Chain A
């Protein structure tokens, strides 16, 4: 079910130019706060912009923020975790003490702090969410590497003269892939929520660009008279994250040897 939800949302985002009937940033000031109708299936917002068009184009940004920030977290976290777990010793101490300090900051506050330093904007939000996710990834990967590096086949690979790089690439990495993939899907949900949350606060995508979190924020002044402006993008966020979480749960159950 998770996969179906994600595929559906991805298709919507990819086919945005075909699904959207209007320019997502084009205002129609004589059609402000219109309820859903044949002309505007999901209604219009306070500038008379078509919500359906903004929803599908906004999905591109919201999902992309989640995906790219997760890639950043894993691109930095996985090598650090492997280095800490495989080499151990001083390197492990330095990396893990750094991670401990990183983890002393509540995740969202760390992301907000980074945006505060770099300034609001899409790129800085990507960086902030990506960086705040690194310690969790590093810890998990290190924990997965520790038992694998003690396995007999790793000893044998060392004994026959395999280089460290080859051992890590051929023996360590494939055997820690399963928990990494599960964490990736679970982190994606958190990253999407953090991204839309920062945009809701006005720290992410700047107007008039369409983005789900910003759309919810724009609609809250009109909550009583035009509930659809905030509610519909919120449902889209919920379904995206639910789809990712269901997929992550399913993957975790499928890859957990205790359940077989």
Chain B
């Protein structure tokens, strides 16, 4: 197990290095002069030259990359063109909000997904199964920003149960988390259904029933426990979807997370901020996938010997 963990950690290095190369190259892929684009033609020639020097764009490319990695290793993600503040500070301020929203959405997704998926599998080829399938399909097809606005209309404006925006109260998290988690819940429900159906067809389930185990015990102790293992890797992928989807949901609910920082940075052509956000998001996603892989190995001993 330790060898497997060490192997997976070592595999992280080239991935993270490649991710940082891609992020570094972003500024060089801007059509035209990236400095003029960032200043949006408002700066003077002297200001453009000063910015070019600050960003290191007047140096050879390999040296620029070396400096980029050196600063990265020291937690320096550069400075915002618009505010002049360190990008790392801007991200540190907003990252907890995005993580909170993503975690809450994941809880909603797993809870709803497991319930619907299990119900559909237990009532296979009956009304509840078909209804759950249609609901899951509808959940995948919903545009999250529109769904969020509908929830605001119902629960904030008509019923006045929950706040429509902001992150001041505990209740502020509910609507954004449900909005973001619904799409992932639908995918998890469909996977849970097919995974559980597959497991319930296995010989050991028939053996458990023949030994006199009650249906609930068969379902939870034997069925679900084994059905959840293949779903673990999907949870990691869903996290990526939630991290990306958070950008839109944060915009709908005025949630002060990384997504709003990124969108504002795009309109201000604040490329150092965009680079920082994309890099941090990719690093988080890679770390979550690593944790899921390790969890998978812990739960299923066959994986360690691959």
Q: Measuring CB to CB, which residues of chain A are less than 8 angstroms from any residue of chain B?
A: 97, 100-101, 104-110, 112-113, 115-120, 189, 193, 196-197, 200-203, 213, 216-217, 220, 223-224, 227, 230-231, 233-234, 237-238, 241-242, 245-246, 249
Contacts and interface: CB of A to CB of B under 8 A. Distances in A.
Max count, chain B CB within 10 A of own CB: residue among A101, A213, A223: A101
Given A104-B15, A224-B157, A216 B286 contact: no
Contacts of B140: 189, 241, 245
Contacts of A200: 143, 145, 248, 251
B31 interface: yes
B256 interface: no
Contacts of B142: 238, 241
A238 B31 contact: no
DSSP class of B's interface residues: helix, strand, loop or mixed? helix
20 contacts: A101-B22, A104-B285, A105-B22, A115-B266, A116-B26, A116-B266, A117-B27, A117-B30, A117-B274, A119-B31, A189-B141, A193-B143, A197-B144, A197-B248, A200-B248, A213-B145, A220-B252, A224-B157, A234-B146, A245-B141
B149 A234 contact: yes
A116 B81 CA distance: 14
Contact of A202 (B29, B245, B267, B278): B267
Contact of A216 (B149, B157, B244, B285): B149
A100 B286 CA distance: 10
Nearest to B16: A104
B248 A116 contact: no
A231 B243 contact: no
B19 A105 contact: yes
A216 B263 contact: no
Interface string B265-278: 11101010010011
Contacts of A224: 153, 157
Interface string B232-245: 00000000110111
B150 A201 contact: no
Contact of B265 (A116, A118, A189): A116
DSSP class of A's interface residues: helix, strand, loop or mixed? helix
Q: Which 4 A-B pairs have the closest CB atoms?
A: A108-B244, A234-B146, A106-B244, A242-B141
A83 B145 CA distance: 38
A234 B150 contact: yes
Interface of B: 14-15, 18-19, 22, 26-27, 29-31, 37, 137-138, 140-147, 149-150, 152-153, 157, 240-241, 243-245, 247-248, 251-252, 262-263, 265-267, 269, 271, 274, 277-278, 281-282, 285-286
Contacts of A120: 266-267
A249 B130 CA distance: 14
B13 to A, nearest CB: 12
A8 B278 CA distance: 39
A245 B14 CA distance: 36
A213 B22 CA distance: 29
Max count, chain B CB within 10 A of own CB: residue among A97, A118, A197, A245: A197
Given A108-B248, A223-B153, 6 more contacts: A97-B14, A105-B278, A112-B266, A116-B269, A216-B145, A217-B145
Given A106-B281, A201-B263, A238-B143, A113 B248 contact: no
